A and B are shown apart, each in its own frame.
Chain A
């Protein structure tokens, strides 16, 4: 296994339980650490030193990369939602986007296995297109989450326990969560899912896996027969060009980086990049639609202090609930979103209790100090996470004019939201404001038509998927239904590049389930000598 970044072991390198007052600038966000000083990302962020990407005119794409073992699984939100039956057959359902060549039933057994391996808590609810799973017990909701649940019940919005890859019971030698709420720092005891602690280190213990870090993959090397022979990479320590040879090559570099490696793998047989006879490598890139609203709930003011940390993330969430209305053509946008929420007496950082004048009207002195204590923990925010429909205007390609410091041509992005996404963001804004007001609260920040309803920038939600989609026709897809390249049978992809659609369900669980299914297929094909080299 090649890893472009450094070795990382969260049990030794996590900043768990550190205090912001002991960190520079109270652990605030910075360009070098955009998610805060304690974020698990070692080297990376919206920019990686010496590894640029470019945007075509009119595009404002953001690309988060984590150059470290386990990549973004070290800091991600651990939200683990299965895609539902509708999500695999989107075109059949509403005529937009494309159908996957597989169905929910094909992937369901692998969702089971993935959940049981990584450990996901949740509850079985039997909701439409929101499949249940193999869950550990869900943690009880926090006070503000119970208020929001009651409010949502009144509004007819389902509010159910979250599904997060955080252990509430011990699993395979990993202890249960100790509820310090700082999963983004990486967990010093492996109580949440991260790929080094749960996948890579156990695999290394078998003796069958060698990991090479500081290995910046640049090209899949191809033989005269058109089969992959291995991967050429730059050893970032020696700056030497090396090649590792393999019978089967699996790309899992993250969606866009995988597309970059494929497009840079040009040869006489593959003049447009490896396995790209369809011309679809890099195409139909998607991200998730995001839009936030925040508010203040007086009902939460001046309550007796309690520890509201819990797990790292919301204990409750709202799955999409208007499937029937959309099917009946009663909605101005075609796909759904789920709602994430936050609030409570969280860890105070540099901006603690900022903007208090919006609630208290201003002031200073003893009265201000007293009132600040009373409003601490009474703010709440909602984040929509919605499905984007793939479009012809959103893709990445090689920028012919720009190199990274390893001599590898970089990606240039093109990205556009359609009205389906923008009107979805509008609905998020209206819904979240409605919830806050129904709970007796005051909206503190929101967006309107003037800023496209607060819709996130492409890539900003860090759910980029697509770019090498699977299908049942080699002319209209890059991969077959087993994530095997149509044009190069010993090349597979196990990140989010094979995705055909991008449901509101966060991609990591589906990446894990698809990866498992693909791995089983590879083992089976090797056994049947269909892949022997």
Chain B
């Protein structure tokens, strides 16, 4: 699979001598049905629901679940258990999932995954903005920040996420031209006149 795409990029480039040098790569195994290593069935339902609350589908790309993020997280936790020689990250994640169910049952008499969207959001709104959260909620805030990072990392490193950003590299280009002049014009304009960043107004860069 990858050899074909590689041949294509060089073919497009017309870089035959370079392409000729590229041989002998063992192809990666074809995808097989994923076998869970960490999550039980109930946790798995919660993970799927939570992943898609973090990264839902929109008009650009599919949701985290559609991009295989729950599988990524399950595999990632197993990987960390082995790499870190402890299960602290797994404990934080499955512990956080447990708390979501505890809290959902306390408030709404149903598991988090089965709760209505507004009910799920009511719980998440307490823990999704660290600066606004109450001190009592900080352990769940830390859980959610970790879960969000795992979901975001899993999503945007997936094939779906790479196309969504979009990341346009990891390919052979015929000539390197530096920053696109159209992009630079925007940056230059912002430097001169200031601009509205996501975090608020930023002053002009140049004196």
Q: Taking beta carbons and an 8 Å cutoff, which residues of A are in contact with B? A: 11-13, 15-26, 28, 30-31, 139-143, 146-147, 150-151, 154, 168, 175, 177-182, 188-191, 298-311, 315, 345-357, 359-366, 368-376, 439-440, 442
Asked whether, in the complex, the Cβ of B207 is within 8 Å of the Cβ of A440, the reply is no
Among candidates A141, A298, A303, A356, residue contacting B183 with C-beta atoms closer than 8 Å: A303
Is there a chain A Cβ closer than 8 Å to B99's Cβ?
Answer: no
Asked whether, in the complex, the Cβ of B23 is within 8 Å of the Cβ of A12, the reply is yes
Asked whether, in the complex, the Cβ of B165 is within 8 Å of the Cβ of A298, the reply is no
Question: A408 to B173, alpha carbons, bound, how many Å?
Answer: 48
Known contacts A19-B159, A150-B205, A299-B202, A362 near B170 by CB under 8 Å? no
* B145 partner residues in chain A, CB cutoff 8 A: 357, 362
Asked whether, in the complex, the Cβ of A179 is within 8 Å of the Cβ of B149, the reply is no
Asked whether, in the complex, the Cβ of A11 is within 8 Å of the Cβ of B21, the reply is yes
Asked whether, in the complex, the Cβ of A22 is within 8 Å of the Cβ of B131, the reply is no
Minimum distance in angstroms from A144 CB to a CB of chain B: 8
30 contacts between A and B (CB under 8 A): A19-B162, A179-B176, A180-B169, A180-B171, A181-B169, A189-B18, A298-B195, A298-B202, A299-B197, A301-B197, A301-B198, A303-B187, A306-B168, A306-B179, A309-B170, A348-B161, A351-B149, A351-B153, A352-B153, A352-B156, A352-B157, A353-B152, A353-B153, A356-B148, A361-B129, A362-B129, A362-B131, A364-B148, A365-B54, A373-B164
Among candidates A31, A140, A362, A365, residue contacting B178 with C-beta atoms closer than 8 Å: A140
Among candidates B15, B170, B206, residue contacting A347 with C-beta atoms closer than 8 Å: B170
* B115 partner residues in chain A, CB cutoff 8 A: none
Q: B76's closest neighbor in chain A, by CB?
A: A25
Question: A309 to B162, alpha carbons, bound, how many Å?
Answer: 14
* B199 partner residues in chain A, CB cutoff 8 A: 298, 359, 442
Question: A347 to B167, alpha carbons, bound, how many Å?
Answer: 7
Is there a chain A Cβ closer than 8 Å to B166's Cβ?
Answer: yes
Is there a chain A Cβ closer than 8 Å to B106's Cβ?
Answer: no
Question: A302 to B186, alpha carbons, bound, how many Å?
Answer: 10
Known contacts A150-B206, A352-B161, A354-B152, A180 near B172 by CB under 8 Å? yes
* B158 partner residues in chain A, CB cutoff 8 A: 21
Asked whether, in the complex, the Cβ of B18 is within 8 Å of the Cβ of A17, the reply is no
* B17 partner residues in chain A, CB cutoff 8 A: 175
Is there a chain A Cβ closer than 8 Å to B53's Cβ?
Answer: yes
Question: A188 to B168, alpha carbons, bound, how many Å?
Answer: 20
Produce 1/0 per residue, B28-47, CB < 8 A to A.
10000000000000000000
Produce 1/0 per residue, B122-156, CB < 8 A to A.
00100011111000000000000100110011101
Main secondary structure of the interface of A (DSSP, over half): loop
Among candidates A150, A362, A370, residue contacting B130 with C-beta atoms closer than 8 Å: A362
Q: B79's closest neighbor in chain A, by CB?
A: A25
Question: A102 to B99, alpha carbons, bound, how many Å?
Answer: 68
Asked whether, in the complex, the Cβ of A350 is within 8 Å of the Cβ of B179, the reply is no
Question: A182 to B130, alpha carbons, bound, how many Å?
Answer: 36
Asked whether, in the complex, the Cβ of A25 is within 8 Å of the Cβ of B56, the reply is no
Asked whether, in the complex, the Cβ of B169 is within 8 Å of the Cβ of A308, the reply is yes
Minimum distance in angstroms from A74 CB to a CB of chain B: 16
Q: A363's closest neighbor in chain B, by CB?
A: B128
Asked whether, in the complex, the Cβ of A350 is within 8 Å of the Cβ of B76, the reply is yes
Produce 1/0 per residue, B173-200, CB < 8 A to A.
1101111101110110011000101110
Is there a chain A Cβ closer than 8 Å to B111's Cβ?
Answer: no
* A13 partner residues in chain B, CB cutoff 8 A: 24
Produce 1/0 per residue, B1-28, CB < 8 A to A.
1100110010001010110011111001
Is there a chain A Cβ closer than 8 Å to B103's Cβ?
Answer: no
Asked whether, in the complex, the Cβ of A18 is within 8 Å of the Cβ of B2, the reply is yes
Question: A189 to B170, alpha carbons, bound, how many Å?
Answer: 15
Asked whether, in the complex, the Cβ of B170 is within 8 Å of the Cβ of A178, the reply is no
Most buried by A among B145, B168, B170, B191: B170
Could you list 7 further interchain pairs (A-B, Cβ under 8 angstroms) beyond the known A21-B158, A168-B176, A365-B53?
A12-B24, A18-B2, A21-B157, A143-B187, A181-B169, A308-B179, A364-B148
Asked whether, in the complex, the Cβ of A142 is within 8 Å of the Cβ of B178, the reply is yes
Q: Taking beta carbons and an 8 Å cutoff, which residues of B are in contact with A? A: 1-2, 5-6, 9, 13, 15, 17-18, 21-25, 28, 53-56, 58, 60, 72, 75-76, 79, 83, 124, 128-132, 145, 148-149, 152-154, 156-159, 161-162, 164-174, 176-180, 182-184, 186-187, 190-191, 195, 197-199, 202-203, 205-207
Asked whether, in the complex, the Cβ of B130 is within 8 Å of the Cβ of A345, the reply is no
* A356 partner residues in chain B, CB cutoff 8 A: 148-149, 152
Asked whether, in the complex, the Cβ of B180 is within 8 Å of the Cβ of A306, the reply is yes
Among candidates B130, B156, B183, residue contacting A348 with C-beta atoms closer than 8 Å: B156
* A366 partner residues in chain B, CB cutoff 8 A: 56, 58
Q: A303's closest neighbor in chain B, by CB?
A: B183
Asked whether, in the complex, the Cβ of B170 is within 8 Å of the Cβ of A17, the reply is yes
Among candidates B171, B198, B207, residue contacting A154 with C-beta atoms closer than 8 Å: B207
Question: A150 to B171, alpha carbons, bound, how many Å?
Answer: 29
Q: B168's closest neighbor in chain A, by CB?
A: A307
Asked whether, in the complex, the Cβ of A180 is within 8 Å of the Cβ of B148, the reply is no
Asked whether, in the complex, the Cβ of A31 is within 8 Å of the Cβ of B179, the reply is no
Asked whether, in the complex, the Cβ of B170 is within 8 Å of the Cβ of A345, the reply is no
Among candidates B54, B79, B173, B202, residue contacting A178 with C-beta atoms closer than 8 Å: B173
Known contacts A31-B83, A373-B164, A368 near B184 by CB under 8 Å? no
Asked whether, in the complex, the Cβ of A374 is within 8 Å of the Cβ of B198, the reply is yes
* B176 partner residues in chain A, CB cutoff 8 A: 139-140, 168, 177, 179, 310-311
Asked whether, in the complex, the Cβ of A439 is within 8 Å of the Cβ of B21, the reply is no
Among candidates B165, B172, B186, residue contacting A376 with C-beta atoms closer than 8 Å: B165
Q: A347's closest neighbor in chain B, by CB?
A: B170
Among candidates A17, A168, A315, residue contacting B171 with C-beta atoms closer than 8 Å: A17
Question: A12 to B15, alpha carbons, bound, how many Å?
Answer: 17
* A308 partner residues in chain B, CB cutoff 8 A: 169, 179
Minimum distance in angstroms from B32 CB to a CB of chain A: 13
Asked whether, in the complex, the Cβ of A180 is within 8 Å of the Cβ of B2, the reply is no
Asked whether, in the complex, the Cβ of A300 is within 8 Å of the Cβ of B187, the reply is yes
Asked whether, in the complex, the Cβ of B198 is within 8 Å of the Cβ of A375, the reply is yes
Asked whether, in the complex, the Cβ of B157 is within 8 Å of the Cβ of A349, the reply is yes
Among candidates A15, A347, A360, A369, residue contacting B198 with C-beta atoms closer than 8 Å: A360
Asked whether, in the complex, the Cβ of A17 is within 8 Å of the Cβ of B152, the reply is no
* B13 partner residues in chain A, CB cutoff 8 A: 178
Asked whether, in the complex, the Cβ of A354 is within 8 Å of the Cβ of B178, the reply is no
Q: A15's closest neighbor in chain B, by CB?
A: B25
* B129 partner residues in chain A, CB cutoff 8 A: 357, 361-363
* A191 partner residues in chain B, CB cutoff 8 A: 18
Question: A180 to B130, alpha carbons, bound, how many Å?
Answer: 37
Most buried by A among B54, B145, B156, B168: B156
Question: A270 to B184, alpha carbons, bound, how many Å?
Answer: 64
